[in-house]
Amino acid sequence: METTDVNIDYYAERATEYDITSGYQHATSAATMAPIKARYQLAFEGQDVLEIACGTGYWTRTVAVTARSVLATDVNPKVIAIAKQKVEAFSNVRFQVASAYTLEGVTGPFTAAFAQFWWSHVPSAKLREFLDTVHSKLRPGSRVMFLDAMRSRHRLGRRVDESGDVLEARLLRDGRRFEIIKNFPNEEEIQALLADITDDLVFRQYPASGCWIVSYKTV
């Protein structure tokens, strides 16, 4: 089985417990995420937003507060079913089952796009292909934002596979073990990948919440 398929299976099986184990419900997490959420709501205010790998909808709901419209996509119908419950009060949100690598059936153009904790799951060899696919759905000058985790200690350990991607062990609450792609790019690597296909690129780290954000406009 391809490692990317393992990632899909893992998040499908984790869907019902993700909101419990992700830490989003903790008061400390809410406090550290507040300025980041505010930044997203400001950046996407009045925009037609494409969300990649929406998961269970935490960030879908965050962006929907100010966006004109949101199309939230994910390859997993299980997580979309949960995400839909979070945004029942929003008439500006739609969902679509679609692979982040092809976005088949997704029609634009959109004026903005984002993905949270997804960049790290993309094999390094597929990153440029993934970005080109996302950009193909956007108008020139669209705002794009990615948020992902900074490197931290992981008690189950990590290893590097033959392609140079980091594999990280993950356990579900029932004890099942998965080994998923979880890369930790640095600022220089991100800047180098995006330099010739973006404008207005800004990279920031948020150590208190353990994440980084890259924001840019498509050329």
Residues 50 and 71: beta-carbon distance below 8 Å: yes
Residue 155, CA atoms < 13 Å, CB-side half-sphere: 1
Residue 182, CA atoms < 13 Å, CB-side half-sphere: 20
**pLDDT in the model for residue 1:** 43
| Per-residue pLDDT tens listing for the chain (219 residues) | 455 789 999 999 998 899 878 777 777 777 888 899 999 999 999 999 999 999 999 999 999 999 999 999 999 999 999 999 999 999 999 999 999 999 999 998 999 999 999 999 999 999 999 999 999 999 999 999 999 999 988 778 899 999 999 999 999 999 999 999 999 999 999 999 999 999 999 999 999 889 999 999 999
* CA geometry: angle 127, 114, 82, nearest 5 deg: 110
**pLDDT in the model for residue 98:** 97
| Domains annotated on the chain, with CATH | 3-218 (3.40.50.150)
User: In angstroms, rounded to a whole number, what is the distance separating the alpha carbons of residues 92 and 88?
Assistant: 10
pTM of the predicted structure, to 2 decimals: 0.94
Instruction: Name residues whose C-beta falls within 8 Å of residue 23's C-beta, 6 or more positions apart in sequence.
Output: 29
**pLDDT in the model for residue 162:** 96
Strand partners, 199: 217
